[in-house]
Amino acid sequence: MPIWVAIVLGIVQGMAEFLPISSSGHLTLMQAVLDFERYHVNAVAFDLVLHLGTLVAVVIAFWKDVWMLIRGFFGWVGAGFKTENRPERRLVVLILIATLPLVIGALMEGYVENAFHSTLFVGIALCFTAVMLWTASRHSGGKKTEADAKYGDAVKVGLMQLIALFPGVSRSGSTICGGLFSGFHKDFAVRFGFLMSIPAVCGAVVFKLPDLMESGMGGDLLLPCIVGFVTSALFGYLAIFTVKLLVKKNSFQWFGVYCLAVGLLTILLNVI
């Protein structure tokens, strides 16, 4: 696989993972445009490498929060699983609850994988993302943070992340919108949505590890994997701060317009 292909896909993954435009949808469309199959590379395994790059970007960008979660987790366990009005411990529990719906995703694996082979499905899903973003842009959110968000709110955001397993539905967009719809403060909706991606990606790595091992991502593919990983991490880090700014300015509607345009174009090309 040429290095430039790894760079292009790394940029797409890094930017689209955090900008509310669906990284899975854009990777599927870009791989179709580049005729990725001719390189005889396991697409699932390579996508996993790119996701690891964005995972590094989240950990670096939210390092203080990640460290707080680590301390909060052990404090929560040490206290007999009691939060005791400790916000950092409540945040741990909220993220764990929001991650639980992904268990359902494991049961839907066959349906999700089939969707990745259909650019028509991606086009329809992008239109859905557009409607979701447009609705969220007119929703100012609330004042809830980890200190007073309800566990039921975490379930709602988790279900939004479950929907985002399908290509074309933005994970960052759906989780942030889910937070805003649940009355989260804008800053907390962004933090919560991005921190949720850590256990989600870690779980995907464990779940897809056999694919990664069988793909033999070594030899001639080692350098493209490294380049894709680094590119994804760098552009992911840039995208995180872009989203933080856009949420404060209620600018999600423009991404809705973009997703609608790409979605309709994709559907039209499929019909033709």
Q: Around Cβ 39, how many Cβ atoms within 10 Å? A: 16
pLDDT tens for 122-176 read 999 999 999 998 888 777 778 899 999 999 999 999 999 999 989 999 998 899 9
Of the pLDDT bands very low, low, confident and very high (cuts 50, 70, 90), residue 4 is: very high
Quote the mean pLDDT of the chain: 87
Asked if residue 225 lies in contact with residue 217, where contact means CB atoms within 8 angstroms, the answer is: yes
Note the pLDDT of residue 159. 95
Label each residue of the chain as H, E or C: CCHHHHHHHHHHHHHHHHCCCCHHHHHHHHHHHCCHHHHCCCHHHHHHHHHHHHHHHHHHHCHHHHHHHHHHHHHHHHCCCCCCCCHHHHHHHHHHHHHCCHHHHHHCHHHHHHHCCCHHHHHHHHHHHHHHHHHHHCCCCCCECCCCCCHHHHHHHHHHHHHCCCCCCCHHHHHHHHHHHCCECHHHHHHHHHHHHHHHHHHHHHHHHHHHHHHCCCHHHHHHHHHHHHHHHHHHHHHHHHHHHHHHCCCHHHHHHHHHHHHHHHHHHHHC
**In this structure, what token pair is assigned to residue 72?**
């909060």
175-182: average pLDDT? 91
CA distances from 129 to 117, 172, 265 (A): 19, 11, 15
Q: Around Cβ 199, how many Cβ atoms within 10 Å? A: 15
- Rounded percentage of the chain residues whose pLDDT exceeds 90: 47
pLDDT tens for 77-100 read 988 888 878 889 999 999 999 999
Tell me how far apart the alpha carbons of residues 269 and 272 are, in angstroms, rounded to a whole number.
Answer: 5
Of 101-115, 181-195, 243-257, the range with the lowest mean pLDDT is: 243-257
Asked if residue 166 lies in contact with residue 112, where contact means CB atoms within 8 angstroms, the answer is: yes
Q: Does the structure show a pLDDT above 80 at 249?
A: no
Note the pLDDT of residue 213. 67
Q: Does the structure show a pLDDT above 80 at 190?
A: yes
pLDDT tens for 223-242 read 888 999 999 999 999 999 88
Note the pLDDT of residue 44. 74
pLDDT tens for 205-215 read 777 767 666 66
Tell me how far apart the alpha carbons of residues 198 and 209 are, in angstroms, rounded to a whole number.
Answer: 16
CA quadruple 27, 28, 34, 39: dihedral, nearest 10 = 100
Tell me how far apart the alpha carbons of residues 52 and 168 are, in angstroms, rounded to a whole number.
Answer: 20
